[in-house]
Structure 1
Amino acid sequence: MPKRKAAIAVGGVAALGAAAFLLPNANASQDGASGDTSAAAPKVLKASDASDLASQLQKILGDALAGSYYDSNAKQLVVNVVSGDNNVIVQAKKAGAVVRQVKNSTADLRAAAKTLKAKATVPGTAWAVDPKTDKVVVTADSTVTGAKWDRVQSTVKSLGSDMATLKKSSGKFKTFVSGGDAIFSQVQNGTVRCSLGFNVTAKDGSPAFLTAGHCGVAAKDWSDSETGQPIATVDQATFPGDGDFSLVKYNDANTQAPSEVNTGNGQTVPITQAVDATVGETVFRMGSTTGLHNGQVTGLDATVNFQSETDPNGVDTVNGLIQTNVCAEAGDSGGSLFTQDGGAVGLTSGGSGDCTAGGETFFQPVTAALQATGATLGDAGAGAGAGAGDQAGGGQQAGGDQVGGSADPSASAGDQAGAGDQSGAGDQSGAGDQSGAGDQSGATADPSATAGDQSGAGQSGAGDASGTGEQAGDNGQAGNGNQSGNSGE
């Protein structure tokens, strides 16, 4: 098997316009700017440094710490403390955090979550701790009605308004099967299509990748094209329960597995480390259905109760997820959640809503998946892997006048327009005639781009994608191009 066939670039193949979000120094730390290291003034931090500081304070403050979050406007870490001990407050301030005193301790919030698990575990519900409000936020999707709604509502009410809140989601919680850089498996009911998340090195030194656990449970052997031979085999899979992740080993030990996210137009983000999510930080998600989108982390250690796909009366509960407001749709499952500076954060699990109306999306933390599988991020010593011309799984991707391929934030719309008319980046075997993510103007993560700058993205629609069948209640895997009738998971 040619090495290029397995060099699946991480994350996704749909290129979006104005990809000038790659600003490596945009949130550079300004620590020490004042020259006064003894001052108690909060430090100005980038999100990754805030996450590190939060971990340090957890060890120092212990039970006195009741969560933390990143204030992206002020670029500061805010920590909640429940102790009136001035020494605790002094230590946190000395470390460079903004300190606020709150009522609910971490133990209190965990106890509330246990009550919800015991009394309100119904399909279509989710809950996570929101350190900004110092409460557990419970979300019920559109399927939670009648007696089920009454049950959830009464449980939340019993916890008290100062401990928990309840909100309604207009969508339906589901796993987002397929998407990203497509991987395929043939099963009894048809084709399952999922997404490669991050390339890793397995514990035994072999090349592998992480993807969603519900994909690994659904099928064992995976290919980089719909009708191709398997190139990788599931080694471990967790779903439901304590996570949603799979470790899938490449069958060829010489496989080149680049540690990077492909953001389209020949642009990649090198993935250098796994990082824990911090509430309030900006994160990016890549997928072939909806392309590149960004948003904020809104909750940690989330519990999601999916409707079971095998038992009509059952529920698939997944614990320990990251909750965000980054949109996703069917076709984005397993894809990469990452930071601007190359930190691997999560694997797309599921959620509600879409990229028109918005919604909630949940991700498996990469750090937890690595710890559980014993894998590490990296290329397994195989080098940088294939370039844009050798990325398997992309199909004949018409880039269609994609403005904004440049990663240079100073480039004008005119300068960026040269990326257009990309008729396939060469030798891309796989999904076939994928004509892009479909009119995704304005999806840029660059806040300085104007509507005019964004309007040139013109990604020629979804092509002839007539859907790939029933996906956990959603019809059609957009972006699969000319692939009608695949059953999906």
Structure 2
Amino acid sequence: MNRTPAPRARLIALASGVLAATALTAPGATADDAVRPTAAQLTAAHTALARADVTGSAWYTDAATGTVVVTVDSTVDADELDALTKAATTPAGAPEINRTTGKFTKHIAGGEYILLPGGIRCLIGFNVQDSAGVKYALTAGHCTDTGDVTSLGTTVNSSFPGNDYALIRYSNQSAAEGSVYLQNGTYQDITSAGSPFIGQRITSSDPMTGVRSGTVTGLNATVNYGADGIVYGLIQSNLCSEPGSSGGPIFSGTQAMGLISGGSGNCSTGGTTFAQPVVEPLSAYGVSVF
């Protein structure tokens, strides 16, 4: 993925010498202070991006630099890209714009593990339990609606769009194990849940694509799935995924990290994958991994 650095105000070394930083900033300020947008300016940029309503766009703020990072799929045309650029530009400068292959879609078809109404298949993310020891499966909210009867049991709660998570109560309580299958006869034990950080190595496990690894590239990302809705607060990564990966687990060692929501590309050419952070549904439903 090519990244074009966002225009930034910076100190310029001239042939006759270096212009002192004190000539560009107020006393006591730094160059970074002069170019970093305020929280209000970033909020305004995110609001403007949502109002632009461009299907196939996603965005987050780089916490280290304060730069708005916009990722677009192959369906976004030049005019839409221009509108996104204008919306995300702050007084500190233009956004970073990245284009990824394929189309942002909810990865819903062709998966395994959970058979849903209408013949749809998604994946179990993680098995969890409540304070009474009742066991459930966490999966993506766009896979199922509250009340749906699945191959595992009944969906007791589902949240999509806005969020992307759902809770299915196991009919057979003894079937749930606190681990992730690694597609080769072995299992990864999951003992806790965590919040990812930029650059963290993460792993997914999918019966179609196998065990894959990638890195976290963005946090608190918003993705516009078009008519299917907008989802907020997602993990953005260069981990590959394909249709059928929805709800699948993203983990780091023994820590649960997220549930695959969607993305673009595939595991042959690469792409972008978005995931629902797992700590949010754990808190919302009052459950924990085991």
Distance 2:100 2:93 in 1: 21
Q: Partner letter of residue 319 of structure 1?
A: Y
Distance 1:256 1:85 in 2: 62
Is structure 2 residue 241 aligned with structure 1 residue 344?
Answer: no
Q: Partner letter of residue 248 of structure 2?
A: G
- The structure in which a higher percent of residues are strand is 2
Distance 1:219 1:163 in 2: 45
Contact 2:204 2:248 in 1 (8 A): yes
Deviation of the 1:330 alpha carbon:
0.8
Give per-residue Cα distances to partners, 1:257-306, cap 9 Å, x unaligned: 11111113222111010100111110001112211111110111110000
Distance 1:121 1:108 in 2: 19
Deviation of the 1:106 alpha carbon:
4.8
Distance 1:266 1:221 in 2: 28
Give per-residue Cα distances to partners, 1:156-212, cap 9 Å, x unaligned: 3x435735222222210000114665210232xxx1111111000135531101000
Structure 1 residues 172 and 160: alpha-carbon distance in aligned structure 2, compared to 1, 3 A threshold = farther
Give per-residue Cα distances to partners, 1:79-116, cap 9 Å, x unaligned: xxxxx999xxxxxxxxxxxxx97724555433321222
Name stretches of at least 5 consecutive residues in structure 1 with no aligned partner.
1-83, 87-99, 224-230, 310-315, 379-489
Distance 1:173 1:335 in 2: 17
Name stretches of at least 5 consecutive residues in structure 2 with no aligned partner.
1-26
Per the alignment, residue 189 of structure 2 pairs with 270
Give per-residue Cα distances to partners, 1:199-236, cap 9 Å, x unaligned: 0013553110100000123981111xxxxxxx311011
Distance 1:170 1:376 in 2: 36
Is structure 2 residue 205 aligned with structure 1 residue 205?
Answer: no
Is structure 2 residue 266 aligned with structure 1 residue 354?
Answer: yes
Per the alignment, residue 366 of structure 1 pairs with 278
Per the alignment, residue 63 of structure 2 pairs with 131
Give the TM-score taking structure 2 as reference length: 0.82
Per the alignment, residue 107 of structure 2 pairs with 176
Give per-residue Cα distances to partners, 1:330-374, cap 9 Å, x unaligned: 12111000002x000000000111112211110000001111111
Q: For 1:193, which of 121, 134, 153 is the aligned residue?
A: 121
| DSSP 3-state at the match of 2:145 | helix
Q: Partner letter of residue 124 of structure 1?
A: G
Q: For 1:283, which of 172, 195, 202 is the aligned residue?
A: 202
Is structure 2 residue 45 aligned with structure 1 residue 112?
Answer: yes
Give per-residue Cα distances to partners, 1:388-433, cap 9 Å, x unaligned: xxxxxxxxxxxxxxxxxxxxxxxxxxxxxxxxxxxxxxxxxxxxxx
Alignment of 1:73-88 (within 5 A): none
Contact 2:36 2:92 in 1 (8 A): no
User: Which runs of 4 or more aligned residues in structure 1 lie more than 6 Å from their structure 2 counterparts after TM superposition?
Assistant: none
Deviation of the 1:128 alpha carbon:
1.2
Deviation of the 1:129 alpha carbon:
1.7
Give per-residue Cα distances to partners, 1:1-51, cap 9 Å, x unaligned: xxxxxxxxxxxxxxxxxxxxxxxxxxxxxxxxxxxxxxxxxxxxxxxxxxx
Distance 2:102 2:279 in 1: 29
Distance 2:28 2:251 in 1: 37
Contact 2:126 2:138 in 1 (8 A): yes
Deviation of the 1:320 alpha carbon:
0.8
Per the alignment, residue 166 of structure 1 pairs with 97
Higher Rg: 1
| DSSP 3-state at the match of 1:328 | coil
Q: Partner letter of residue 122 of structure 1?
A: V
Distance 1:85 1:291 in 2: 54
Give the TM-score taking structure 1 as reference length: 0.50
Aligned length: 261
Per the alignment, residue 148 of structure 1 pairs with 80
Distance 2:265 2:83 in 1: 23
Alignment of 1:435-454 (within 5 A): none
Contact 2:237 2:273 in 1 (8 A): yes
Q: Partner letter of residue 233 of structure 1?
A: T
